[in-house]
Amino acid sequence: MSQALISQVLIGLSVAAILAIAAMGLAIIFGIAGVINMAHGQFIMVGAYTAAVVGQLGGNTFVAIPVAFVVVALLGLIVERGIIQWIYDRPLETLLATWGVGIILEVLMKVIFGPELYYVGAPKILDGGIRLIGRLPYPYYRMFLIAVALVMLFVTLYIIFRTDFGLKVRSVRRNRAMSGCLGIDTARIDMLIFMYGSGLAGIAGAVLAPIKSVSTTMGFSYAVGSYMVIVLGGVGNLLGVPTGSFLIGEGETLLAYKYNAVIGQLLVFVAIVIAIRVFPRGIFGYHERR
């Protein structure tokens, strides 16, 4: 019993890592530019297709990560310059516009790649797994995912808290008007942050491709998972993402083990809704003074 429980907790940890990887880009964009990117799932999907193309050309996941980052960041640049820069002040309408972007991306990818599923293999080194407890193997790739989540978190923290760019980002986040007056090009910061967040979504797609068949509709459930992570964790602090992912990932896995996957999701959703009664802006929410 306890062994099964521990292995479930470990599985939950990798589910949490997947959620964290998917949510990181969204949290960055929402936290700083104030935009919920409804096309986030499709950005992840584009990243996964990039990985599939890299795989076809003979590369593996390690090659796919930087490629997907660049490809999706450029995609983010186009979306930001073309659409979102005009409607930053209307958050609910950015929701609709980015939803439209998502639909277009889905059809576009279907036209380019066709309706069939693509499979991307994990790199050779990460094949197999170790037996931690009992007979259930714990795949190396799951550990790799946890590592990727941690690296993404620390790189992002480093950029935000240790670089000049991050300083500007934080000042824009705190007081946009004042930062503008002090000579920070807030539009450029928004653009770069949107690109960076999109790039992270691309990385998410690239590392998630081997654990899920690549299709045009693969992104949506990841996107909704990311929204929940953000709602629960809050965007005031980047620690909200790992915290939210951990709670949701473990909660869903353990409840799915006890009941079934849908009941698990439902209970976690109810728990989130109850939790935001206590933390209206998420656990690490930034409470604004009016």
Q: Map the footprint of another protein across residues 4-63, applying CB under 8 A.
A: 30, 36
Query: How many CA atoms lie within 13 Å of 288's alpha carbon, on the beta-carbon side?
Result: 8
In 3D space, the residue among 32, 112, 125 whose CA is nearest the CA of residue 71 turns out to be 112
One residue of 31, 102, 233, 242 binding another protein per CB under 8 A: 102
CA separation for the pair 40, 42 (Å, rounded): 5
**Phi first, then psi: what are they for 182, rounded to 5°?**
-85, 10
Minimum Å distance from CB 194 to another protein? 16
Is 275 one of the binding residues for another protein (CB under 8 A)? no
Given candidates 86, 154, 158, 161, which one binds another protein under the rule CB under 8 A?
A: 86
Joined tokens for residue 253: 């896995």
Q: Is 101 one of the binding residues for another protein (CB under 8 A)?
A: yes
Among 57, 78, 103, 181, indicate the residue that binds another protein (CB under 8 A).
103
CA–CA dist 110, 216 (Å, integer)? 6
Among the candidate windows 46-54, 67-75, 88-96, 138-146, which touches another protein by CB under 8 A?
88-96
If the CB atoms of residues 155 and 273 are measured against another protein, the closer one turns out to be 273
Interface size with another protein, residues (CB under 8 A): 43
Q: Check residue 280 for interaction with another protein (CB under 8 A).
A: yes
Instruction: Return the beta strands (E) in the chain as ranges.
Output: 129-131, 137-139
Contact status: 91 vs another protein (CB under 8 A): yes
**How far is the C-alpha of 51 from the C-alpha of 57, rounded, in Å?**
10
Binding to another protein, residues 206-265 (CB under 8 A)? 220-221, 224, 227-228, 230-231, 260-262, 265
Q: Kindly list the distances between the CA atom of residue 185 and the CA atoms of 190, 236, 245, 286, in Å, as whole numbers in the listed order.
A: 9, 22, 33, 23
Q: Is 236 exposed, middle or buried (0-12, 13-18, 19+ CB in 10 A)?
A: middle
87 lines the binding site for another protein (CB under 8 A)? yes
Q: Which residues bind another protein (CB under 8 A)?
A: 30, 36, 83, 86-87, 90-97, 99-104, 106-108, 220-221, 224, 227-228, 230-231, 260-262, 265-266, 269, 272-274, 276-277, 280, 289-290
